[in-house]
Amino acid sequence: MKILGIKFAPLHIPLERRLQTLAAGCWFTTLAFGTFIGTFIWVYVFFTRFWYLSVLYATIIYLEKSKCEKGGRPIEWIRHWGWWYYLKNYFPCKLDFVPGLTFDPKRNYLFACYPHGILPAGPFNTIGSPYSEFSKLFPKFRVRLVILHQHFFIPFLREIAYGTGGISASAKSLNHVLGSPEGGYIAVLMPGGAVEAYNSRPGQYRIILKNRKGFVKLALRNGSPLVPVISFGEPELFDQVEGRTLRKIQESIRKYLGLAPVIFSGRGFFQYSFGVIPQRRPITTVVGHPIEVTKIEKPTNEEVDELHKKYMQELENLFEEYKFKYLENPKDIHLEFE
């Protein structure tokens, strides 16, 4: 039903779908505005008679400042929140992988995932979530989602970052997980980072990879197999406003906050034309074969370049093979590298 050009949702929608929409809205609002909300609450409490609670919380944050670089501290009751189940089924998010895929629970793996999207939904819901197919197929692995370092210092938002199995996006943090002698860890990294969100728009798969080689060096130093991962449908969740002047302003803010402040448009709770909720579009995350890596404590530039080139080729091959299965007009869409 359309009124004044706005497409409204039908009145009679099953409760299950309503809960899925609510979960998606809460998830995106928390990630997009959690920094502001958490900081505001902390400051507000500080100027009340309960100021000591803010001081106590700040002390805890300080004492745990290195926890995010030492494997994190997952909280099972947060990891198993019911809204993760509804979030996964909202899009829905599904997992696919190349035939014969296996992982050795005595080794550690680095999953390098593309594209980042406005806020990546695919890797979390298909690999990192306890409701994912991946957790059921490979229950012996401890999945660690690599998140911006500053998120672990934002009041309240940090609890979700820790609770869902997050670790800091730093070399020290990744070395700690990938270098674990007992094995069984999977670090899920988005090498394109927040800046790649600028490229996220429907029908486009433009990723930032040509000069992103730090994750390759970490894989070499730890001898961790490098796994190419593609999430089809990730760019379809939002449209966004573009402009040269706007981009300069966005970059200034991003360098300060770490987040790409894109001006996006999704849908609302009761209408489909605009809003902060991602569009209900299917996302399928495809996991490729691990690229074997020989441990080199001090890899040369040539060795890093060689593995980086191989990863780029494997990622492109994975995209080209599966795009015919999961994309509309696949012949017109290619993986673009920046």
State the pLDDT at residue 260.
61
Distance CA 163, CA 161 (A): 6
State the pLDDT at residue 314.
96
Q: Stretch 274-285: mean pLDDT, rounded? A: 90
pLDDT tops 90 at residue 96: yes
Domain ranges of the chain: 14-337
Q: What is the DSSP string of 208-249?
A: --TT--HHHHHHHHHTPPEEEEEEETGGGS-EE---HHHHHH
pLDDT tops 90 at residue 171: yes
Q: Stretch 205-228: mean pLDDT, rounded? A: 95
Helix, strand, coil abundance in the chain, percent, nearest 5: 45, 15, 40
Tokens representing 305?
A: 């370049």
Q: Identify which of 211, 208, 171 has the alpha carbon closest to the alpha carbon of residue 187.
A: 171
If pLDDT is split at 50, 70 and 90, which confidence band does 244 have?
A: low
Share of the chain above pLDDT 90, in %: 65
Classify residue 274 as exposed, middle or buried by CB count within 10 Å of its CB (0-12, 13-18, 19+): middle
Residue position matching structure tokens 């979390």: 124
Q: Which CATH number fits domain 14-337: 3.40.1130, 1.25.60, 1.10.260, 3.90.1200?
A: 3.40.1130
Chain segment 113-129, per-residue pLDDT in tens: 999 988 889 999 999 99
Residue position matching structure tokens 């979030």: 87
Q: Identify which of 268, 273, 202 has the alpha carbon closest to the alpha carbon of residue 238.
A: 202
pLDDT tops 90 at residue 71: yes
Q: What is the mean pLDDT of the chain?
A: 89
Share of the chain above pLDDT 70, in %: 91
Q: Identify which of 130, 118, 105 has the alpha carbon closest to the alpha carbon of residue 233.
A: 118
Residue 98 in contact with residue 287, Cβ under 8 Å? yes
pLDDT tops 70 at residue 247: no
Distance CA 194, CA 245 (A): 19
Chain segment 290-317, per-residue pLDDT in tens: 999 999 999 999 999 999 999 999 999 9
Counting every residue written for the chain, the total comes to 338
Secondary element (H or E) of residue 109: strand 109-114
Tokens representing 191?
A: 């090498």
